[in-house]
């Protein structure tokens, strides 16, 4: 989990992996300050021929720029997610313009999952659960409990955990988008 309430208010992104299945969920709320501007934004999408799922927390335009950069890195490295996220993190940290981008990315494929930040972080979770954004603590705790005490599939865990996060975090809503591999 990565969360800074002053910077990353406005979304919850959750990844759950169980066995060969992985799901990434994101809420649809967009806020500017204390005002809700949009209810159904799509903050989770598939890249690289549908083999990679990426979700973002932070500034939308910055995240879209990072999605494009990650897609280019995936093409360059033939879909090798590990190599692509490391290269993106290096560029993000060292490039004067990219360094100013305010977003976090969560990227997963069939085997790996990573959190990528502009400070050069490339973090792989120890468990099959990871979350970013203002509702991350709530979604993460709910997903861990559901993983431990149910046999639900990742998509169902995402849906339940995101619903719990939305009931607790004012910057997260129940308009959930879930992508699966």
Domain assignment of residue 170, yes or no: no
Least confident range from 41-45, 59-63, 66-70, 160-164: namely 59-63
Which two three-digit tokens encode residue 162? Answer: 């995101």
Domain assignment of residue 174, yes or no: no
State the chain's mean pLDDT as an integer. Answer: 86
pLDDT per residue over 106-126, tens digit each? 999 999 999 987 677 888 988
Domain assignment of residue 176, yes or no: no
Domain assignment of residue 171, yes or no: no
Catalytic residue among 11, 65, 94, 150: 11
Rounded to two decimals, the pTM is 0.87
Domain assignment of residue 169, yes or no: no
Catalytic status, residue 11: yes
Residues 2 and 104: their CA atoms lie apart, in Å, by 9
Phi-psi region of 45 (alpha: psi -120 to 50; beta: other; left: phi over 0): beta
Domain assignment of residue 180, yes or no: no
- DSSP for 38-82 reads ES----EEEETTTTEEEEEEE-HHHHHHHHHHHHHHHHHTTT-HH
User: Do the beta carbons of residue 42 and residue 29 sit within 8 Å?
Assistant: no
pLDDT band for position 102 (cuts 50, 70, 90):
low
Non-local (6+) Cβ contacts of 66 within 8 A are: 56, 88, 92, 101, 103, 105, 116
Buried-exposed string 34-47: b where 16+ CB fall within 10 A, e elsewhere? eeeeeeebebbbeb
Task: Give the domain CATH number at 35.
Answer: 3.60.20.10
- DSSP for 89-126 reads HHHHHH-TTGGG--EEEEEE-SS-EEEEETTS-EE--S
Q: Position of tokens 């335009």?
A: 61
- DSSP for 13-34 reads EEEEEETTEEEEEE---EEETT
User: Do the beta carbons of residue 127 and residue 138 sit within 8 Å?
Assistant: no
Residue 27 pLDDT greater than 70, yes or no? yes
Non-local (6+) Cβ contacts of 17 within 8 A are: 108, 113, 128, 129, 154
Domain assignment of residue 2, yes or no: no
Residue 107: give the domain boundaries.
12-149
Residues 34 and 160: their CA atoms lie apart, in Å, by 25
Mean pLDDT of 69-74: 91
pLDDT per residue over 77-89, tens digit each? 999 999 999 998 8
Total of domains in the chain: 1
pLDDT band for position 8 (cuts 50, 70, 90):
very low
Domain assignment of residue 89, yes or no: yes
pLDDT band for position 100 (cuts 50, 70, 90):
low
């Amino acid at each position: 989990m990565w969360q800074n309430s002053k910077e990353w208010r406005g979304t919850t992104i959750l990844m759950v992996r169980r066995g060969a299945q992985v799901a990434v969920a994101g809420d649809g709320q967009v806020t500017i300050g204390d005002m809700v501007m949009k209810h159904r934004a799509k903050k989770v999408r598939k890249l690289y021929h549908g083999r990679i799922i990426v979700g973002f927390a932070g500034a939308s335009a910055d995240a879209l720029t990072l999605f494009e950069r990650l897609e280019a890195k995936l093409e360059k490295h033939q879909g090798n997610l590990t190599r692509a996220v490391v290269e993106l993190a290096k560029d993000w940290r060292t490039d004067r313009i990219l360094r100013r981008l305010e977003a976090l990315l969560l990227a997963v494929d069939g085997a790996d999952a990573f959190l990528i930040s502009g400070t050069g972080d490339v973090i792989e979770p120890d468990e099959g659960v990871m979350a970013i954004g203002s509702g991350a603590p709530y979604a993460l705790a709910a997903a861990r409990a559901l993983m431990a005490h149910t046999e639900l599939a990742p998509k169902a865990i995402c849906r339940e955990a995101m619903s719990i996060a939305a009931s607790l975090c004012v910057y997260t809503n129940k308009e959930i988008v879930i992508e699966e591999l």
